């Protein structure tokens, strides 16, 4: 939706509706000292690189402070990782979250893939397009 506000006038709203491709988000919670986390990581890499591509599947990795509290990736950004672990009530690694609500078994490639397919089948509710203008201004368009 584009919003143009003219001084001392009414607000003009213009909506451009169009079909868009659904993109699924995977949030992965793992630790470098966790054996099953290696399997989970390989599954996610394979699904992104060989099955879906980044136009359909995007992953965000959140290192945990367990089983090892000295995971170097966790130590590099502990506060953000802790906040996300609290948000989802993450109690063990690996844990995989698909589109913020589905929890497949992280080490079961078929379960992870099926959860992704179920989310890809849904129609996107909105689209966010971020771009920059020649003047250095960032433009954010939200299409409903």
Strand 2-5 to strand 11-14: parallel, antiparallel, or no bridges (unpaired)?
antiparallel
pLDDT at 2: 55
Question: In the chain, how many H helices and how many E strands?
Answer: 4, 7
In the chain, domain spans: 24-120
Burial state string for 48-77 with b = 16 or more CB within 10 A and e = fewer than 16:
beeebeeebbebeebbbbbeeeebeebeee
Domain 24-120 in CATH 3.30.950.10? The answer is: no
pLDDT at 88: 98
pLDDT at 124: 82
Question: What's the predicted TM-score (pTM) here?
Answer: 0.76
75-101 per-position pLDDT tens digit:
999 999 999 999 999 999 999 999 999
First to last CA, the chain: 7
Report the chain's mean pLDDT, rounded to a whole number. Answer: 86
Going by pLDDT thresholds of 50, 70 and 90, the confidence category of residue 125 is confident
pLDDT at 137: 65
pLDDT at 16: 52
Mean pLDDT across 96-119: 97
| Closest C-alpha to 109, from 60, 48, 29 | 48
Going by pLDDT thresholds of 50, 70 and 90, the confidence category of residue 102 is very high
């Amino acid at each position: 939706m584009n919003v143009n506000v003219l001084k001392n006038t009414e607000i003009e709203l213009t909506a451009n509706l169009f079909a868009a491709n659904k993109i699924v988000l995977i949030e992965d919670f793992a630790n470098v000292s966790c054996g099953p986390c290696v399997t989970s990581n390989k599954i996610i890499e394979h699904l992104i690189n060989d099955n879906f591509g980044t136009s359909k599947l995007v992953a965000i990795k959140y290192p945990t402070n367990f089983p090892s509290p000295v995971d170097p990736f966790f130590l590099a950004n502990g506060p953000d990782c802790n906040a996300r672990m609290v948000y989802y009530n993450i109690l063990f690694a690996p844990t995989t979250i698909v589109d913020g609500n589905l929890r497949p078994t992280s080490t079961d490639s078929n379960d992870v893939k099926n959860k992704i397919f179920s989310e890809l089948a849904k129609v996107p509710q909105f689209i966010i397009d971020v771009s920059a203008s020649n003047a250095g201004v960032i433009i954010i368009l939200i299409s409903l």
